[in-house]
Chain A
């Protein structure tokens, strides 16, 4: 016990400058942004699977919104048109719900996407062992490293998910215009489309964070001595 107190005294010293190590949030954002910028192509590939999965999600949701818009007109000819183009509508349905089959396909594609993200991030962490070890040697706490990786993945996630959500929505709208003509857009509730895009972006963001969680913890737990490793 004595020794610990003595340790604290000497270690913390009598400096007037902060006695703890800090990493200001703004600085961590700067570092994360720069990391993405420097490895832009690599970031692009990591995010590509997310963009595709989220655009699929967004496509399905906006298509549902279009379907609902058309159904709300109560026009039986539109109802037939919808069924012909492949929408699943029962004879009494007044609005579209996503079917279990649809939901399962979406969940599966999102899972595949997350697994891809975990793999890519794990590879990135293993490659950057020297950088992480060095930062630890300069005094970085475990949670600084965690924060940096979470920020990086978060930024990639939001950007990728947003692009995916917009792309999916766009394809869905173009598809609707081609299948039904302009009536598809006039009956559309734009607030619903907006919500679908926001939802898809949110899902993508959460998935990106979920995927990076394990690799980021691995990075945070890395020992500083790893920085010394020399490949002979």
Chain B
């Protein structure tokens, strides 16, 4: 069940990096529309511009030309405060390296975005514990990151990404540092939570396991979008016999 509005719209975006004397054309004209509530995977080989496009969508970088709209707001027009607000409230980030803050407990990590959002401590703690129970870490909220396994740290990251009820979750290679089984668990968790909470999940990944759960796959190659496949088309092209919901 997806909303008909576009939560992310990328319009004629190019990005050129200056590396010394050499110009690197990371993105060469990308147009993309992502509908709210979908689970999107951006797939492509290294150097295809996948991370660059991902950073554009997440408001972490500005295009050289073209526009990126999040909820029909041109993010290049936002000042530092508005961008911070965007990152705090509208977008949740999940990283390949988990990026859980080492000096804080799991609970403190999950409640940090809530503190930034102005939530008082008690409500934040309550909500934080709820979220940690949701990802299956209800009994480990006082653990520090070095006491948690990779998969558990990534679960904390998922809980943290959901802290302020964002509209979008951006996951950069979420299973990159995880083994097969743990990776599958995280993918399943993300899919389940995105369906329950109607969050749009945009994931940049190499991982083929993501294909099963994606509503749409964007294949990117040499800075351009190669093709966009919807779920129905996917089952045929990869050759899997998938049961449709």
Contact = CB atoms under 8 A, between A and B. Distances in A.
Interface of A: 3-4, 6-8, 10-12, 17-24, 27, 31, 34-35, 38-39, 130-131, 133-142, 223-225, 227-228, 230
A19 to B, nearest CB: 7
A217 B118 CA distance: 25
A6 to B, nearest CB: 7
B224 interface: no
A133 B60 CA distance: 10
Nearest to A5: B77
Interface of B: 51, 55, 60-61, 71-74, 77-78, 80-82, 84-90, 93, 95-97, 99, 101-104, 112-113, 115-119, 160, 172-173, 176
Contacts of B89: 139
A17 B117 contact: yes
A23 B115 CA distance: 7
A195 to B, nearest CB: 37
A139 B82 contact: no
B113 A224 contact: no
Closest 3 CB pairs of A and B: A139-B88, A18-B118, A225-B60
A8 B96 contact: no
A225 B61 contact: yes
Contacts, number: 112
A1 B78 CA distance: 12
Nearest to B104: A34
Nearest to A229: B97
Contact of B172 (A22, A136, A228): A228
B235 to A, nearest CB: 31
13 contacts: A6-B72, A7-B73, A7-B78, A7-B82, A22-B116, A22-B118, A23-B115, A136-B87, A137-B87, A139-B84, A140-B84, A140-B116, A224-B60
Given A21-B84, A21-B88, A7 B74 contact: yes
Contacts of A134: 93, 95, 99, 101
A139 B164 CA distance: 11
A7 B83 CA distance: 11
B115 A27 contact: yes
A4 B87 CA distance: 18
Nearest to A33: B103
Nearest to B46: A232
Q: Choose among A11, A18, A27 the residue with the greatest number of B CB atoms under 10 Å from its CB.
A: A11
Consensus secondary structure, chain A interface: helix
A47 B88 CA distance: 35
B103 A10 contact: no
Contact of B80 (A12, A138, A141): A141
Given A3-B77, A31-B103, A139-B113, A227 B95 contact: yes
A3 B172 CA distance: 29
A11 B72 CA distance: 10
A131 B97 CA distance: 11
Contacts of A230: 96-97, 173, 176
Contacts of B160: 138
Given A130-B99, A228-B51, A11 B80 contact: no
A21 B112 CA distance: 11
Contacts of A27: 115
Nearest to A13: B89
A134 B77 CA distance: 23
B116 A21 contact: yes
A228 B95 contact: yes
A80 B24 CA distance: 78
Nearest to A15: B89
B107 to A, nearest CB: 13
A225 B55 contact: yes
Given A3-B74, A4-B77, A24-B115, A224 B87 contact: yes
Contact of A12 (B85, B119, B172): B85
B73 A142 contact: no
B73 A11 contact: yes
Given A24-B115, A31-B103, A11 B85 contact: yes
A21 B60 contact: no
B216 to A, nearest CB: 23
A219 to B, nearest CB: 14
Contacts of A12: 85
A138 B112 contact: yes
